[in-house]
Structure 1
């Protein structure tokens, strides 16, 4: 097993998940729920499934497209989202 890749994957996902909508939803559920174990298991299963789907889709895409193209498409997508959020995002007054 490539432990460097495991550590890199863990750190990347852990840092990107801090403070996102799924964590805020988990906090809200924890505040109103009676079974913290059920909330933990449900949210953990959801994150595992989402990660599993990402790995499967990523592996499938890597079989069809060269890595350079995938990185370029991702960079363009993030740039478009950033521009949309900066210029046309919420909080703009008309």
Structure 2
């Protein structure tokens, strides 16, 4: 049971983090320095600490907020973010077309 939770958490976070702004920031910092190991240790420590904060906060919140409410809030939040990103992709595309016409 614990191994299954560990594996599903790892896969979820790993996939969610691929190509995000944290990874791009890490890539940029690593490209401008000659110390990739230091960049790796710094960025991975930051991710571990942020994950620890999330796990501790989620654990304490779940003791007085029902699971269904937490899942609903997370679902609605991700849905809103997805819609905003979807709308912004059309806005950026439209702006690029207008700039190319000039």
The TM-score, its normalising length taken from structure 2, stands at 0.81
How many matched pairs? 93
Q: Pairwise CA RMSD of aligned residues?
A: 1.8
Which residues of 2 match residues 1-94 of structure 1 at below 5 A? 2-87=2-87, 89=88, 91=92, 93=95
Tell me the alpha carbon deviations over residues 1-60 of structure 1, each in whole angstroms, 9 at most, x when there is no partner: 711111111111111111111111111111111211111110011000110011011101
Q: Give the Cα–Cα distance (whole angstroms) in 2 for the partners of residues 18 and 86 of structure 1.
A: 19
Structure 2 unaligned residues grouped into runs of 5+:
none
Structure 1 unaligned residues grouped into runs of 5+:
none
Specify which structure has the higher proportion of helix: 2
SS for the counterpart of 1:84 is: helix
SS for the counterpart of 2:34 is: coil
Structure 1 residue 84: Cα displacement? 2.5
